[in-house]
Amino acid sequence: MGGSLDGSVVIVTGGARGIGREYALGVAREGGKVVVADLLDGEPVVAEIEALGGEALAVTTDVSDEASNDAMAAATIDRFGRIDVLINNAAMFSETTRGPFHELTIAEWDRTFEVNVRGVWLACKAVYPQMSAQGSGKIINIASNTLYKGTTGFLHYVASKSALIGLSRSLATELGPEGITVNTVSPDLIPNPDLRPTDETSDKFVVAGRALKRTMVAEDMVGTIVFLCTRGSDFITGQALVVNGGAYYQ
């Protein structure tokens, strides 16, 4: 191992599968120590990182729960002694109900906001005392290109991701004086037909409306995320980056 993140301790929420797993592996390849915080078992990803010669810890976490976030931060400090980066990637996404806005239930709306918005706030709250004591830290919130496109079919999800833009800008202002940065990064559709069969059809439209005419894959996000974890990004805060291959319409 060895690279631009040598010695950095990076928490990836929702790191047990999908795009979060790629963030965990990408950070580890650059020498970062990774905490895989997920409702799902993170041990397989930890084993992959250890096989690469890296260090990682799995912590079963429900980001919508305050005590669970506090336990995640405590376990990170116990094992690695510091917290340099929090990547808020966990979300109600694959499991989110899809359909016309007037058919969504209050329970569906509330669960999406509990995880996607409250969960981000609670995870930030949990890591804050350590980042504040260090006088440094980076928070990366994963939003979605759907909020820029106004994608239809899951209004609760798009509204929840939109909230992260404002949350991040305000938190960046609040935490800047302490040397803590907060940014959002929005991926475009990264299909996972095993989990979401409709992605295959949607992707044809998405690719057609994109400057770079190919399907987006999770690896396309990793360079941007790793950069935002490194010292090279120290003066970037309150920003909303979009990684979408030049999407110009839905």
Ligand X SMILES: NC(=O)c1ccc[n+]([C@@H]2O[C@H](COP(=O)([O-])OP(=O)(O)OC[C@H]3O[C@@H](n4cnc5c(N)ncnc54)[C@H](O)[C@@H]3O)[C@@H](O)[C@H]2O)c1
State yes or no: residue 14 binds ligand X (CB under 6 A). Answer: yes
What is residue 70's three-state secondary structure?
helix
- Write each residue from 92 to 121 as x if it is in contact with ligand X (CB under 6 A), else as -, in one continuous string: xxx--------------------x---x--
Which of 1, 4, 31, 39 binds ligand X (CB under 6 A)? It is 39
Taking CB under 6 A as the binding criterion, the range among 2-10, 45-53, 130-138, 142-150 that sits at the site for ligand X is 142-150
Which of 89, 168, 183, 244 binds ligand X (CB under 6 A)? It is 89
Nearer to ligand X, 107 or 231 (CB): 107
Taking CB under 6 A as the binding criterion, the range among 15-23, 102-110, 167-175, 234-242 that sits at the site for ligand X is 15-23
Order of strands across the sheet with 85-88?
Answer: 56-60, 33-38, 9-13, 85-88, 137-142, 180-187, 240-243
Residue burial 222-231, b: 16+ Cβ < 10 Å; e: rest: bebbbebbbe
CB of 14 to ligand X, least distance (A): 3
Compute the radius of gyration of the chain from its Cα atoms: 17
CB of 62 to ligand X, least distance (A): 5
Taking alpha carbons only, the member of 46, 81, 49 closest to residue 60 is: 46
One-letter amino acid at 243 equals: V
Residue 157 bears catalytic tag: yes
Residues 6+ apart with CB under 8 A from 67: none
Query: CA 29, CA 26: separation in Å to the nearest integer?
Result: 5
The dihedral region occupied by 211, where left means phi > 0, alpha psi between -120 and 50, and beta the remainder, is: alpha
Which of 195, 212, 231, 248 binds ligand X (CB under 6 A)? It is 195
Eight-class DSSP state of 210: B
Which of 75, 85, 90, 167 binds ligand X (CB under 6 A)? It is 90
Which of 5, 9, 10, 19 binds ligand X (CB under 6 A)? It is 19
Taking CB under 6 A as the binding criterion, the range among 77-85, 132-140, 172-180, 184-192 that sits at the site for ligand X is 184-192
Instruction: Render 124-176 in DSSP notation, one character per residue.
Output: HHHHHHHHHHHT-EEEEEE--THHHHT--S-HHHHHHHHHHHHHHHHHHHHHG
Nearer to ligand X, 81 or 215 (CB): 215
CB of 142 to ligand X, least distance (A): 4
State yes or no: residue 34 binds ligand X (CB under 6 A). Answer: no
Active-site residue, selected from the candidate residues 128, 148, 157, 248: 157
Nearer to ligand X, 202 or 233 (CB): 202
Q: Which residues bind ligand X (CB under 6 A)?
A: 13-14, 16-20, 38-40, 61-64, 89-94, 115, 119, 142, 144-145, 187, 189-190, 192, 195
Give the residue numbers annotated as catalytic, written as ranges: 157
